[in-house]
Amino acid sequence: MSTASPVKTTAVSAEGVWKAYGTGEAQVVALRDVSVQFASGAFTAIMGPSGSGKSTLMHCLAGLDTTDRGTVHIGDTPVTGLSDKALTKLRRDKIGFIFQQFNLLPTLTAEENITLPAAIAGAKADPDWIKKIIHTLDLTDRLSHKPTELSGGQQQRVACARALASRPEVVFADEPTGNLDTRSGAEVLRFLRTSVDEFGQTIVMVTHDPSAAAYADRVVFLADGQIVEDMTEPTADKVIDKMKHFEELVAAAQEAAA
Amino acid sequence: MLRATLKGMAARKARLILTSLAVVLGSAFIAAALVLTASIRATVDDLSGDAYKGADVIVQPVEPENRGDRLVRDGVAAETLAAIEANGDVADVSTTVTWMVNALGEDGKIVGGFAPTMAVNWGDESVEREMREGRAPEADGEVAVSAQFVTESGLGLGDTVTAYSLSTDETPYEIVGVYGYAGGRDSLSGSTELAFTTTEAQRLVFGGEDVYSAVAVTAADGVDADELLKALEPAVGAESEAITHQAYVDDLNAESAEVTSVIGYFLLGFGLIAVFVSVFLIANTFSIVIAGRLKEIAMMRAIGAGRGQIIRSVLAEAGLLGAAAAAVGAGLGVAAGAGLTSVIANGFLDTATTSVAIPWSAPLAAVAVGLGVTVLSALVPAVRASKTPPVEAMREAVKADKPITGITVTGLVVTLLGAAGIILGLNETFGSDDANLIAAAVGAGVVFIGVALLTAWLSKPVVALLGAVWSWSFAGRLGRLNASRNPRRTAVTAAALMIGVTLVTATATLLTSVKESLAERFDTTIKAELFVTGPVTASVPATFDPEVMDEIRAVDGVEAAVDLYYDLAQIDGTEQYVNASSDIEGAVTQFGGVVAEGSMKDLGEGEIAANDAAAEQLGIGIGDTVTATFSRGTEAHEFTLVAIIADNEESDGFYVDPAYTAEFYTPKPNMALVDVADGADVGDVTAEVEDLIADQPSVSVQNHEEYLSQVTVFFDYAIIAIQLLLALAMIVAVIGVVNTLVLSVLERTRELGMLRAIGMTRGQTTRMVTVESVTIALFGALLGIGTGLLLGWIVQQALAPTGIESFAIPTALIAAYLAASVLVGLLAAIAPAVRASKVDILGAISYE
Ligand SMILES: Nc1ncnc2c1ncn2[C@@H]1O[C@H](COP(=O)(O)OP(=O)(O)OP(=O)(O)O)[C@@H](O)[C@H]1O
Ligand SMILES: [Mg+2]
């Protein structure tokens, strides 16, 4: 996982992914023919209106949900068609997760929560690496606390540390700052940025917030289950601007589909 | 509000079904107990109504006061019979001659175990007999036998059966007929029967006297039972009494009613224990369900719902659930009670027909208890729910545990109060023994409740300790942490399990201690190594020929051998054991007795020796006179007390000269004590003595252990019976474990989804839930065993002055319970673990 590599490898890729819920009249097509690559060592944000399929895409990429058609790869590993056991192992070894909430086990201390994936795998987490993350996240004097004794922002920082603890190939975050105030949110985002810059981590983050998206290297816009825009070097203003024209984008996409 | 309640219930079907199962079981047990009791009583009443059917008046000997079943019976004299037959108001007379006999089966052993073998005269019409094969006995050497006797003895038509009684020696009889009873039954109440000619029956029962056990009289046309009774009065005389058939049946019914109501209370008691256990389960379920709905409740409070409304909505749910479950339980219970009645009636009472009686009290009590318990159990959670502050709606999802200080302090206070009662009782602070015993017993009960309250506080350390066993697996560690996560919940679940285990352990500990005390005292006081004696359940007490004694004494390695005769006699109006031996001093020595006062040398005619407890009971001292009447004695004898034997629990009562044994219940020796010489091989001596008594069917050679096990086998049955009766309470407790786990898994759906998302396998999830389950079950069992041992010890200490001096731990039973609790934990985990491992990850982690 070196940023020095001149050729950027692909950490996650989706090829012609379709996903629909329900059948007949009530059928909702959440993803239509989505193809997208996420480069190693890059921070990508996924944006789009509510119901556009952001979470669905992320779940399919992370092997939490199956696709109807199309293939998904994590690194060289094809995700599509894996058994539950293999998927579980894949998630455990190659993927990190940060959810909007309910990230931590209330029975464990912050430190135990951070090393939870390694413990589940029956492995020992790399102590130097853990120390480094904890230091970066400024959690050193919170390690022996239980989640109930931590603020929402601190809880989310612990979740970040846990996601990075096993050096996964990719970290998926679904609105990690959705429940936080601006300052706590900024701390989390700054850390995600740092982990990309300093540790070469790959991050895919779903967000509604243009200023959160601004921390990313690239923003992928989804609308009605399709990718409608791919923006590099985003700024909050550029994103807001794009969102203003969203209606037009959706209409254009639908026209193109028809 | 009711609509919201109903909708909420519909959405939580699974947990409602589990919860109601406890109520259903509890109510069903109560209904079944009441129906069973009433039905057995009705069936037994029918049975007594069948006795002497068709007779109007029964004439029977007057039972002397204070004479139990072990005593030789009197009969209705032949002259009385003749006078009755001569009476003009009498249409028909039937005579009965019956008492217990011993008969030897094909294998030469005495037939029958707990149910006796009876001899009757074939002419007896007190019950309806139906000849199946062969014919009635016509000569004194002939016998007809009941079908049950054929089954148990292995003998059949044409074979020869050997029978003997108190008054006859072993006599061979030819089996000329096999009969059954009305309704195609093989037996009456499980007993076996031999029918002889009337003269032979009289020889067996009354030693050949021409007397009868009972005379059933039918009135001539136009004479009713009361008139007949009056008419017979002069004929009956002083030694017999006449009663109407109705009065006879009423007497029998009153006797059986006493027994059946005791059985009924017993069953009800265990039913109530099961109901008590279900209180824990129901309260826990409502607490958990409400905990899961705190946000909803807070939201309702925030939009203006009053506290009363919250309480009412929870109680309405409990009421609906309780009413439905109790109704189902009552129905099931009534059906089960009716079904069990026929099983018991056919299996044990051998009745042709069973009467099922369904008293109104059965369904009513079941519904009332089920409903009441459910609503009461929901009350505490309901009140707690109503205290939810509206701000709770805005709080974070992850919450700290509620403090358990209140309940812990209460538990400590209660435990200390109980302990105080025990200490005061054990130290004999109160005036009377009874008061001390009551103080200790009540204290023990209070400690039990106190410990139950302390479970929440105990759960943390004990679960952590148990967890040390599981910490090798990370999933196991998570499961252990989950078990101690909500101490209140774990405690209530474990406490439900604890109740049953405590009761079983306490009774088993006490009974084992009693056994141990008996054995210890027996081994230390009794010198003889071997006993020649028979089973305590034989119809006629075991006896053997006195001549064998000399042969036993001649056996190599026998230091001493003494014979012993015993009888239950009337001494100064009280029932007392009287012993006799051809070597009284030797017998007393073998029993570990010491003459404390006076001398037993040459105990002769008119002289008696007493154990000091017996002497104390009668308030007599050396030189005082007592009057004694022996079982077969027709007149009282005067005795002078010449010796007092220091208190010895093994030999009871009095000693007299063997000359009086002719008047004893059995005139032959009942037991021999064989003292094996030091250095001689006990096994060899046993074998030789066995050879010597081979032709004495009623006795065998037993060592201390074998002899005691005859007495203590009852305790083993008692432990098994109590376990069976507690099975229901245990089942309810197990349902409680399942319920708690299912609810906890539901409550932790998100957490499980998160764990699965970050890579926990299904297997690990299953292991996590299983460890939590086993930990809770083991915790409950450990608590129960601990409390049970403590209670057992307290009662043993309280009873120590009565001779229960040793404290013994039923280790095998405890080990079995620990193993069973692990098994229960594993089984209870199956459904919740499967549920947890199948958690829909996406559904769990999606924001609501
Ligand atoms: N389990 C499901 N069953 C049926 N429809 C679903 C399910 N999950 C998602 N959908 C539908 O699929 C579409 C995409 O949903 P998705 O959750 O991916 O949207 P999203 O972009 O994450 O929205 P939001 O920003 O609100 O989180 C929506 O129309 C949603 O209603
Ligand atoms: Mg979403």
d(CA B260, CA B254): 10
pLDDT score at B114: 62
> How far is residue B554 from each of residues A45, B97, B560, B587, B723, measured CA to CA in Å?
107, 43, 9, 18, 49
- Average pLDDT on B309-317 reads 83
A56, A120, A169: which to substitute to probe chain B, counting the most B Cβ within 10 Å?
A120
- Whole-number percent of chain B with pLDDT over 90: 10
pLDDT score at A196: 92
pLDDT at B687 over 70: yes
Cβ of A56 closer than 6 Å to ligand 1, yes or no, is yes
B755 touches chain A (CB under 8 A): yes
Asked which of A211-220, B16-25, B60-69, B608-617 is least confident by mean pLDDT, the reply is B60-69
- Average pLDDT on A223-243 reads 84
B396 touches chain A (CB under 8 A): yes
Cβ of A225 closer than 6 Å to ligand 1, yes or no, is no
What DSSP line would sit under B72-127, residue for residue? PPP-EEHHHHHHHHH-TTEEEEEEE--EE-EEE-TTSSBP-SSSPEEEEETT--SS
Contact: A120, B474; criterion CB under 8 Å: yes
CA-based nearest residue to B565, from B591, B597, B587, B585: B587
Give tens-digit pLDDT for A80-132.
888 888 888 888 888 988 888 767 888 889 998 998 888 888 888 888 989 98
Give tens-digit pLDDT for B126-136.
888 899 999 99
Given a contact cutoff of 8 angstroms between Cβ atoms, the answer to whether B746 and B738 are in contact is no
Residue A179 amino acid letter: N
Q: At CA B167, angle to CA B165 and CA B168, rounded to 5?
A: 65
Given a contact cutoff of 8 angstroms between Cβ atoms, the answer to whether B593 and B618 are in contact is no
Paired tokens of B480: 């252990």
Tell me the HSE value of A172 on the side-chain side, using a 13 A CA sphere.
23
> Looking at the DSSP assignment, which residues form a beta bridge with residue B700?
B533
d(CA A204, CA A98): 10
What DSSP line would sit under B727-778, residue for residue? HHHHHHHHHHHHHHHHHHHHHTHHHHHHHHHTT--HHHHHHHHHHHHHHHHH
Q: What secondary structure, in 3-state letters, does B646-700 show?
A: CCCCCCCCEEECHHHHHHCCCCCCCEEEEEECCCCCHHHHHHHHHHHCCCCCCCE
β-bridge pairing B654-656 and A203-206: unpaired
Q: Which atom of ligand 1 is nearest to the CA of A57?
A: 18
For residues A257 and B378, the model is more confident at B378
Summary mean pLDDT of chain B:
82
B647 touches chain A (CB under 8 A): no
Give tens-digit pLDDT for B487-528.
878 888 888 888 889 888 988 898 889 888 888 887 887 878
- Tell me how far the alpha carbon of residue A244 lies from the centroid of ligand 2, in angstroms: 20
- Whole-number percent of chain A with pLDDT over 70: 94
d(CA A27, CA A22): 4
Per-residue DSSP letter, B486: S
- Tell me how far the alpha carbon of residue B291 lies from the centroid of ligand 1, in angstroms: 29
For residues B10 and B527, the model is more confident at B527
Contact: B396, A152; criterion CB under 8 Å: yes
- Average pLDDT on B661-677 reads 86
Structural domain spans, chain A: 10-21+28-241
Given a contact cutoff of 8 angstroms between Cβ atoms, the answer to whether B513 and B806 are in contact is yes
Give tens-digit pLDDT for B83-99.
888 888 888 888 999 88
- Dihedral angle at the C-alpha atoms of B283, B749, B821, B719, nearest 10 degrees? 30
β-bridge pairing B90-96 and B214-219: antiparallel
- Average pLDDT on B137-141 reads 92
Given a contact cutoff of 8 angstroms between Cβ atoms, the answer to whether B617 and B575 are in contact is no
Burial (0-12, 13-18, 19+ Cβ within 10 Å), A211: middle
Element (H, E) at B717: helix B704-747
d(CA A251, CA A240): 18
A104 touches chain B (CB under 8 A): yes
The domain A10-21+28-241 is placed in CATH, from the list 3.40.50.300, 1.10.357.10, 3.40.120.10, 3.40.640.10, at 3.40.50.300
pLDDT level of residue B293 (50, 70, 90 thresholds): confident
Smallest Cβ–Cβ distance between A120 and the set B750, B762, B764 belongs to: B764
pLDDT at A4 over 50: no
Cβ of A240 closer than 6 Å to ligand 1, yes or no, is no
β-bridge pairing B171-181 and B142-146: parallel
pLDDT level of residue A1 (50, 70, 90 thresholds): very low
Give tens-digit pLDDT for B579-622.
888 888 888 877 777 888 888 777 888 889 988 888 888 888 88
Return the number of other C-beta atoms located less than 10 Å from residue B678's C-beta: 7
d(CA B160, CA B142): 9
| Rg from Cα positions in chain A | 18
Give tens-digit pLDDT for B726-750.
887 888 888 888 888 888 888 888 8
| Complex confidence, ipTM | 0.82
Sequence-distant (6+) residues with CB within 8 A of A172 are A58, A61, A62, A95, A96, A97, A98, A203, A204, A205
d(CA B212, CA B206): 8
Name the maximum alpha-carbon separation found in chain B: 103
pLDDT at B652 over 80: no
- Average pLDDT on B698-711 reads 81
Q: What count of residues does chain A have?
A: 258
Q: Which atom of ligand 1 is nearest to the CA of A54?
A: 21
- Average pLDDT on B558-566 reads 87
Contact: B754, A99; criterion CB under 8 Å: yes
Asked which of B544-553, B629-638, B816-825 is least confident by mean pLDDT, the reply is B629-638
pLDDT score at B328: 92
Backbone angles phi, psi at B686, to 5 degrees: -55, -50
pLDDT score at B150: 92
- Average pLDDT on A188-194 reads 91
d(CA B802, CA B218): 53
Q: How far is B392 from chain A (nearest CA, A)?
A: 15
Task: Tell which one of A46, A54, A246 to mutate to probe ligand 1, the residue whose CB is within 8 A of the most ligand atoms.
Answer: A54
pLDDT level of residue B159 (50, 70, 90 thresholds): very high
Cβ of A41 closer than 6 Å to ligand 1, yes or no, is no
pTM, to two decimals = 0.75
Given a contact cutoff of 8 angstroms between Cβ atoms, the answer to whether B649 and B527 are in contact is no
Sequence-distant (6+) residues with CB within 8 A of B662 are B632
pLDDT score at B6: 63
Q: Is the Cα torsion angle B197, B201, B207, B209 positive or negative in sign?
A: negative
Q: Which atom of ligand 1 is nearest to the CA of B843?
A: 1
pLDDT score at B338: 85
Name the maximum alpha-carbon separation found in chain A: 57
Per-residue DSSP letter, A142: G
pLDDT level of residue B72 (50, 70, 90 thresholds): low
Given a contact cutoff of 8 angstroms between Cβ atoms, the answer to whether B338 and B39 are in contact is yes
Paired tokens of B482: 């989950």
β-bridge pairing B192-196 and B117-121: parallel
- Average pLDDT on A142-154 reads 87
Smallest Cβ–Cβ distance between A59 and the set B397, B478, B842 belongs to: B842
Summary mean pLDDT of chain A:
86
The ligand with the least distance to the CA atom of A32 is 1
Asked which of A93-102, B141-150, B256-265 is least confident by mean pLDDT, the reply is B256-265
pLDDT at A205 over 80: yes
**Residue that has been written with the tokens 């109590």 in this structure:** B722
- Dihedral angle at the C-alpha atoms of B729, B735, B737, B739, nearest 10 degrees? -140
d(CA B497, CA B502): 9
d(CA B197, CA B636): 34
**Residue that has been written with the tokens 């987490």 in this structure:** A125
- Whole-number percent of chain B with pLDDT over 70: 91
- Average pLDDT on B407-411 reads 83
pLDDT score at A251: 73
Contact: B758, A84; criterion CB under 8 Å: no
- Tell me how far the alpha carbon of residue A17 lies from the centroid of ligand 2, in angstroms: 17
**Residue that has been written with the tokens 């003494």 in this structure:** B562
d(CA B578, CA A214): 107
Backbone angles phi, psi at A42, to 5 degrees: -120, 155
B397 touches chain A (CB under 8 A): yes
B751 touches chain A (CB under 8 A): yes
d(CA B190, CA B302): 71
